[in-house]
A and B are shown apart, each in its own frame.
Chain A
Amino acid sequence: MIKTITLSLLLFCGFYSRGQYPGYTLLDHPETAKKFISAATSATGSIQSDFSQEKTLTMLSEKINATGKFWFRKNDKLRMEYLRPYQYLMILNGGKIYIKDAQKENKLSAGSNRVFKQVNRILIDCVSGNMLENADFKPRLFESPGSFLVELKPIEKNLTSLYQNINIIIDKKDFTPTAIEMYEISGDKTIIRFQNKLLNVQIPDSVFFIP
């Protein structure tokens, strides 16, 4: 009996010491990795990819899935176009936000909706490599053999009431995000995964044009 308890405790301690993300280890001195990530991401001028989004409603045991296309061009141009099973378009360009759903189009200026702006800045930061510099979050860096995991814990008041944390998984091969995980206070989460990435391709201005 004592052996079993001891073994269980040892196993628990073993898992716990690896950190809260299976397969990842917390970097105690992440400065080197930070510099490495910043330098590597700064070499990425544009990203074009497909994405899939999965929202998990924990208490309802439900998942809502969507897929679409994603474009990013340095420094502040981003387009996310949801294609299935619903259409929804969001363009961020120079601090302006353009939204088009099935019924209407909406233009928001940089100052018009603070929370919306903050959440959208996360997207830009995630792909531009500036996620570790965002003062609205306290970052921690984890590492696995194939990827980094940047955990962003909100410290800004508006964001702490919405999110537990936002994680970005960065592929070590090309230092671009493979997934963004958004954990809400309720326990629900949304994961956006990027597939078929094309880096540093020419993306015309028209893709980011806000009418």
Chain B
Amino acid sequence: MYRFPILFFLFLSAACLNFSCGPYRHMQKIESEESCVLKLKPDFSRVIYKTSVNVIGNHISGLLLIKYMQDSSTRIVFSNEMGFTFFDFGFETSNRFIVHQVIPQMNKKGLIKMLRKDFELLLFRNMDSTKAYSLAAGNLIYHAFPQSEGINYYITDLPCHQLIKMQIASDKKPRMEALIYNNAPDNPPDSILIRHLNFFHLTISLKKIIPLAPE
């Protein structure tokens, strides 16, 4: 007797999860200058962040160095506090990605792919304006840049003066979001929080620690 409402509820929940209840569905496509977000690109030219990574009860900390190289590529190196390098990734101008170094314990295809996507979002890479579009949601604009898999969103205020957050999403729902604090022009952001919204609940928090010594 009570089985029908329960089954109906389960069906509705499954349908919501699988089809159309994502946050982007109710947003309206609007005319906007998608490229306005480019001027909000954080300046990571040379910076070190104290980094904490938490995933399924495990915690690892270290230092993350981001540096724009003279050949216009970007290098991201993560080491522990005692100087030992965990990984060294290179992001080339032609959207090429190079693993310069990774310790055997982190040399997992899925992990490297996930980190690559996270850093590409932060570094404002793969932003093809010919495929881009914008969505309105209250006082926010979602600047959407479709990727080979999923969509990268750069979320700004209405006048496109402030970058509120960034997201990596499937067609329906966000899978990761990155919040940037104190993103001033010509100065690396003070801190960044990356949160994965899948069941791993991986979080990466970055806090700027050092004005690096002059080159």
Contacts and interface: CB of A to CB of B under 8 A. Distances in A.
A178 interface: no
Contact of A59 (B81, B100, B105): B100
Interface in B76-135: 77, 79, 81-85, 88, 100-101, 103-105
A186 B88 contact: yes
B200 to A, nearest CB: 18
A184 B88 contact: no
B84 A102 contact: no
Given A86-B50, A103-B59, A161-B104, A184 B65 contact: no
Contacts of A92: none
Interface in B24-48: 46, 48
Chain A's interface size range is 20 to 34
Nearest to A55: B83
Contacts of A171: none
Nearest to B63: A64
B50 A62 contact: no
Given A62-B212, A85-B209, A102-B50, A190 B83 contact: yes
A185 B61 CA distance: 22
B83 A53 contact: yes
Interface of B is mostly: strand
Interface in A53-93: 53, 55, 57, 59-66, 80, 82, 85-86, 88, 90
B186 interface: no
With a 10 A CB-CB cut-off, give which of A82, A185, A188 has the most chain B CB atoms: A188
Contacts of B205: 103
17 contacts: A53-B82, A55-B83, A59-B75, A60-B69, A64-B210, A85-B209, A85-B210, A86-B50, A102-B50, A102-B207, A103-B52, A103-B59, A103-B205, A115-B105, A186-B101, A188-B85, A190-B84
Interface of A: 53, 55, 57, 59-66, 80, 82, 85-86, 88, 90, 101-104, 106, 115, 119, 161-162, 182, 184-186, 188, 190
Interface of B: 46, 48, 50, 52, 54, 59, 61, 63, 65, 67, 69, 75, 77, 79, 81-85, 88, 100-101, 103-105, 205, 207, 209-210, 212-213, 215
The 4 closest A-B CB pairs, nearest first, are: A190-B83, A101-B61, A55-B83, A88-B81
